[in-house]
Structure 1
Amino acid sequence: MPPALLSGPQYLHRGFQLLRLPGIRLFVLLPLLINVAIFAALSYLTMSRFSQWIGQLIGWLPDWLGFLEWLLWPLAVILLLAIVMYFFSTIANLIAAPFNGLLAEKLEEHLCGEEVAGRETIAQALASFPRSIGRECRKLLYYAGFAILTLIASFIISPLAPLLWFAMNAWMMAIEYCDYPMDNHRLSFSEARRRVASQRGTSFSFGALVMLGTMIPIVNLIIMPAAVCGGTLMWVERLKEGGDKRA
């Protein structure tokens, strides 16, 4: 397996390890509490409809592909989980964005031994909520463009639709969590995307594992702060110097 595909999961693993650092525990706790509250509400709404949604997804299968239903049923479950968990992550990231940025900032200061220019307190992070919402909306617009292309491709090669949606969501997870430290340094969203793309293998494998983590109960509650830590590590080690290190 190419080294780049192995390095992405390592960043998430190291992100989990960094959650225990005494200096950043408070900044981990805030997004974690937001995650728990949103996940509890979304799980309650989803469980009552899960079987119905699975039936509807299978119902989209053309009659001539009916013999593949046994194979597509588990793929439909993967697709539905990917969509629901990405929706959950989107809401959680939208609300927790200022705190995720603060977590990325404190961790970068710990890793580099120097203050991030324009560093924020918790009060300042709350005050920057409108700007954070604007950044998250730009990500949603970027996601919408990819979603339209993926939807078109899903109609053309419907058996592979779940895998296409998972791959798209994995890429968005990489952009989402690597963007927080870059936003702290006031890099434009287009520049942030360019730097993430400069490490395609590492970024995609990192995002894919984050996406899988959002689909696992309990793990999905702590995946957000761990992914912020992993994305910040990628920023410090691979993306900070203009993304010159190629995956």
Structure 2
Amino acid sequence: MTAARIPASTTSAARRFLGGTGLLLRGIGLYVRSPGLMLLGVVPALITGALFVAAYATLVYVVDDLAALVTPFADNWSEGWRSLARVVAGLAFLGIGGLLAVVTFTAVTLVVGDPFYEKISERVERRYGGPAAEVEVPFWASLRRSAGDSLRLVGLSILFGVPLLAAGFVPVVGQTVVPVLGAAVGGWLLAVELVGAPFSRRGRHLPERRAALKADRPTTLGFGMAVFVCFLIPLGAVLLMPAAVAGATLLARRSLGEPTEER
């Protein structure tokens, strides 16, 4: 009997996905080796994180009421089925709330801490030879770019989040397939958001950023989903935000065909 062979394209995609995950690990390594600068990136993350933890705690507190509000059809069901319907609804709210919280946390933190994260990204670039063609971007122009891009990506996260929330009410599918799709969508949006600084440094805007990342989608998803999962861990988003910025700089360099090995 001949063993089934996995197509080379599938193997290559899996390898690139793992390579994208490895970029976050390399970002963490850079974080550990440059604690002085990287710790500056924790300050804006702490400020934003406190607000988002309070918001998500509020969602957890009212989730039972929200679940009851959207499942009036279950009022006359038996207690067991009614409870099951509302548990499914509650999990859907918490899951999509987590997706929106992670994406919006990243967007807001990058705007609040723009000077810190720009500095982290620049230092990583210097370790690998700098950008191939750097464009001087004034501070306020950089801040406007960051804020505008963040608003667009938050809008996209809401756009994707609504159908995922609806799908989350479907038993089994809502608790298995939807979380994976949510991580993929959230990971993609995070990757697009986090590479903003190195792309802006080269005079490249959001459409070019998306196009470059789409050219190597498995690597982008590997990186973005790894960041997304880490950001779901309590305090993970706060502590790993600088490392995510460092890893995203490597992702940007790789997507643009620039060296990602130290000289």
Q: Tell me the TM-score normalised to structure 1 length.
A: 0.78
- Aligned partner of 1:33 among 37, 43, 48: 43
Q: What letter is aligned with 2:37?
A: F
Offset of residue 33 of structure 1: 0.9
- Aligned partner of 2:245 among 228, 232, 236: 228
Distance 2:92 2:161 in 1: 16
- Aligned partner of 1:147 among 136, 158, 165: 158
**Does the 8 Å CA contact 1:107/1:232 hold for their aligned counterparts?**
yes
Task: Specify the alignment match of 2:62 in structure 1.
Answer: 52
Distance 1:81 1:199 in 2: 26
Task: Specify the alignment match of 1:177 in structure 2.
Answer: 194
User: Alpha carbon RMSD of aligned pairs, Å?
Assistant: 3.1
- Does the residue aligned with 1:19 lie in a helix, a strand or coil? helix
Q: What letter is aligned with 1:190?
A: P
For this pair of structures, how many residues does the alignment match?
233
- Aligned partner of 1:203 among 220, 244, 253: 220
Task: Specify the alignment match of 2:30 in structure 1.
Answer: 18
**Does the 8 Å CA contact 1:213/1:219 hold for their aligned counterparts?**
yes
Q: What letter is aligned with 1:11?
A: L
**Does the 8 Å CA contact 1:38/1:88 hold for their aligned counterparts?**
yes
Which whole-Å deviations, capped at 9, do the CAs of 1:56-114 have from their partners, x for residues lacking one? 15643574795555555445433222222333222211111232122111111112268
Q: What letter is aligned with 1:241?
A: G
Offset of residue 5 of structure 1: 2.0
- Aligned partner of 1:110 among 104, 107, 127: 127
Distance 1:216 1:115 in 2: 36
Structure 2 CA distance for partners of 1:28 and 1:119, relative to 1, 3 Å: farther
Q: What letter is aligned with 2:27?
A: G
Structure 2 CA distance for partners of 1:6 and 1:52, relative to 1, 3 Å: same
More displaced, 135-144 or 209-218? 135-144
**Does the 8 Å CA contact 1:210/1:227 hold for their aligned counterparts?**
yes
**Does the 8 Å CA contact 2:92/2:165 hold for their aligned counterparts?**
no
**Does the 8 Å CA contact 2:107/2:154 hold for their aligned counterparts?**
no
Offset of residue 164 of structure 1: 4.3
**Does the 8 Å CA contact 2:40/2:116 hold for their aligned counterparts?**
yes
Same amino acid, percent of matched pairs = 18
Task: Specify the alignment match of 1:42 in structure 2.
Answer: 52
**Does the 8 Å CA contact 2:198/2:249 hold for their aligned counterparts?**
yes
Q: What letter is aligned with 2:45?
A: N
- Aligned partner of 1:240 among 245, 248, 256: 256
- Does the residue aligned with 1:112 lie in a helix, a strand or coil? coil
More displaced, 72-81 or 219-228? 72-81
Q: What letter is aligned with 1:4?
A: R
Regions of 4+ moved over 6 Å: 113-116
Structure 2 CA distance for partners of 1:165 and 1:21, relative to 1, 3 Å: same
Offset of residue 195 of structure 1: 0.6
More displaced, 54-63 or 128-137? 54-63
In our comparison, the structure showing a higher alpha carbon Rg is: 2
**Does the 8 Å CA contact 2:100/2:161 hold for their aligned counterparts?**
no
Offset of residue 47 of structure 1: 2.4
- Aligned partner of 1:186 among 199, 203, 224: 203
Q: Tell me the TM-score normalised to structure 2 length.
A: 0.74
**Does the 8 Å CA contact 1:79/1:163 hold for their aligned counterparts?**
no
- Does the residue aligned with 1:20 lie in a helix, a strand or coil? helix
